[in-house]
Chains A and B, each alone.
Chain A
């Protein structure tokens, strides 16, 4: 039995304007009804398979997002929902916004939109289910786990270091 037959979803509101959040809720309501895919909106990270983040990340909630993500059992997927969660959106230039969800945890599916439309969101969730299946196979066969938030942080730092040295060499070449 695969998890994707009945994935449980955890919704975390980063610093979103609520627009995406009410659309997430509307998707669980009768008109759009994601529950027909067996999806249940849960409040407990240890029950959840899909983490749905809305809104950008700020210095207050980055650790909250990390903790929630790390508490979720493998296999798990992360959905960045709305343009703010993808890269910061209209609030990118604000002093209290660090950027999108992928600044702190690995994101598997990006769903753009301001606010995200329920149709797009459902499409994103269905994409996420495919990834969840793949991850589950890899987890069962090879015991491959998702990155923890601290591993991801190290990876980001490494990448940042690489691009810096690359920029340096670029600059010296020209």
Chain B
């Protein structure tokens, strides 16, 4: 006999994530029947700031869409403006931008590993992964000056160069990170207790994932080999890498893809350091942008679109950001329907939601 339906509000203040995600869960006994998302606890309306900050200063606002994917947001906005203004960047700038992008991907994925460990109740693993993450943050801090928000991007290049000696110094650190991740990987992917929490939870087929417009590791875990880095922006066109997928389509698969991507990032950074060209890191920029452009990049959480509409004035007309989590919400809602109430935290974290990005 089925129980009465009731609605459980999930969030905003709850122990799973530090972020105020809010979902109304319609439950029948312990089964979730439907999940209804709503937006507004972190909604700032920062897209409206285009009328108050000039197009150069908007870089800082774009970086603050989210503190975790900060670098990528800055990159997406800057890239759109650079395309509108037809700016050709020096090769060295592209290479350094790629290195920073991959470092921020690593920090995001390792952060996610920690949150996932916390979600399935393994606190020492959380501590371990966050210890590893500090090494990545140290590199980012050495290169840019910031731990979380870097502000090294500007329209027309980078604010300052990163020396070759410093980049060479990253190589042994990357090696040690790889080794530590290998240790953790064993627990994430081979431990029976962990596997019982992840395997078969939140299955999404390749066809469904594509139809619902899922992106990033969420899509690749369902076996769809698509990665926007293949578009070849920054230095990705000159780098050798494979798209990492997994056929599982469940939370375990999502874990596997993200861990695989950490090694992939290490390999991309190594290649960039080895082939680092000499030269300047920025070009002078004159005038105001006039036109429209849509930049699409691969953020740690998936595909992000940046639309900029400018009309030759100091202030641009519109900046629109479609963040990866926003595209993943239909997929998340789908996996939540029919799950056990106790699995909700795992499912939510498995998508790697970034609410601050989503709500802007």
Answer yes or no: are A and B bound together in one complex: yes
**Given known A18-B19, A26-B134, contact A68–B13 (CB-CB < 8 A):** yes
CA distance A115 to B67 in the complex (A): 8
CA distance A28 to B330 in the complex (A): 33
- Assess whether A17 is in contact with B67, with CB atoms less than 8 Å apart: yes
Which residues on the B side are within 8 Å of A30 (C-beta)? 127, 130-131, 134
B100 CB–A CB distance under 8 Å: no
B60 CB–A CB distance under 8 Å: yes
B147 CB–A CB distance under 8 Å: yes
A-contact 0/1 string along B150-163, CB 8 Å cutoff: 00000000000000
Min distance, Cβ A57 to any Cβ of chain B, angstroms: 11
B243 CB–A CB distance under 8 Å: no
- Assess whether A18 is in contact with B130, with CB atoms less than 8 Å apart: no
Min distance, Cβ A115 to any Cβ of chain B, angstroms: 4
Choose from B18, B41, B44, B148 the contact partner of A91 (Cβ within 8 Å): B44
Which residues on the B side are within 8 Å of A19 (C-beta)? 64, 66-68, 70, 148-149
Min distance, Cβ A17 to any Cβ of chain B, angstroms: 5
Choose from B111, B131, B133, B149 the contact partner of A115 (Cβ within 8 Å): B149
**Given known A22-B148, A29-B130, A30-B127, contact A15–B44 (CB-CB < 8 A):** yes
Q: Which of B42-80 contact A (CB under 8 A)?
A: 42-46, 48-49, 52, 60-61, 64-68, 70
A55 CB–B CB distance under 8 Å: yes
Min distance, Cβ A135 to any Cβ of chain B, angstroms: 23
B202 CB–A CB distance under 8 Å: no
Min distance, Cβ B169 to any Cβ of chain A, angstroms: 19
- Assess whether B15 is in contact with A43, with CB atoms less than 8 Å apart: yes
Which residues on the B side are within 8 Å of A12 (C-beta)? 13, 20
Choose from B44, B64, B149 the contact partner of A58 (Cβ within 8 Å): B44
**Given known A15-B43, A64-B13, contact A23–B148 (CB-CB < 8 A):** yes
B310 CB–A CB distance under 8 Å: no
- Assess whether B64 is in contact with A17, with CB atoms less than 8 Å apart: yes
> How many interface residues does chain A have, given as a range?
35 or more
Which residues on the A side are within 8 Å of B46 (C-beta)? 91, 94
Name B65's closest neighbour in chain A (CB-CB): A17
- Assess whether B148 is in contact with A16, with CB atoms less than 8 Å apart: no
Min distance, Cβ A51 to any Cβ of chain B, angstroms: 11
Name B131's closest neighbour in chain A (CB-CB): A30
B312 CB–A CB distance under 8 Å: no
Choose from A43, A64, A94 the contact partner of B45 (Cβ within 8 Å): A94
> How many interface residues does chain B have, given as a range?
35 or more
Name B111's closest neighbour in chain A (CB-CB): A22
B12 CB–A CB distance under 8 Å: yes
Min distance, Cβ B139 to any Cβ of chain A, angstroms: 14
- Assess whether B64 is in contact with A15, with CB atoms less than 8 Å apart: no
- Assess whether A18 is in contact with B66, with CB atoms less than 8 Å apart: yes
CA distance A119 to B176 in the complex (A): 25
Name B22's closest neighbour in chain A (CB-CB): A60
Min distance, Cβ B73 to any Cβ of chain A, angstroms: 10
Which residues on the B side are within 8 Å of A90 (C-beta)? 60-61, 64
Q: Which of A14-62 contact B (CB under 8 A)?
A: 14-26, 29-31, 43, 55-56, 58, 60-61
A13 CB–B CB distance under 8 Å: yes
Name B355's closest neighbour in chain A (CB-CB): A18
Q: Which of A65-82 contact B (CB under 8 A)?
A: 68
Which residues on the A side are within 8 Å of B354 (C-beta)? 18
CA distance A90 to B354 in the complex (A): 20
Scoring A17, A58, A61 by chain B CB atoms within 10 A of each residue's CB, the highest score goes to A17
CA distance A17 to B42 in the complex (A): 8
Min distance, Cβ A116 to any Cβ of chain B, angstroms: 9
- Assess whether B20 is in contact with A13, with CB atoms less than 8 Å apart: yes
Which residues on the A side are within 8 Å of B215 (C-beta)? none
Choose from B12, B44, B65, B137 the contact partner of A56 (Cβ within 8 Å): B44
Name A26's closest neighbour in chain B (CB-CB): B130
- Assess whether B19 is in contact with A13, with CB atoms less than 8 Å apart: yes
- Assess whether B12 is in contact with A64, with CB atoms less than 8 Å apart: yes
**Given known A17-B356, A31-B134, contact A94–B48 (CB-CB < 8 A):** yes
- Assess whether A117 is in contact with B45, with CB atoms less than 8 Å apart: no
Question: What are 16 A-B contacts defined by CB distance under 8 Å?
Answer: A12-B20, A13-B42, A14-B42, A15-B41, A18-B68, A20-B67, A22-B148, A31-B131, A43-B15, A60-B43, A64-B41, A94-B45, A94-B48, A96-B40, A115-B148, A117-B147
Top-7 shortest CB links A-B? A19-B67, A43-B15, A29-B130, A18-B67, A115-B148, A21-B18, A96-B45
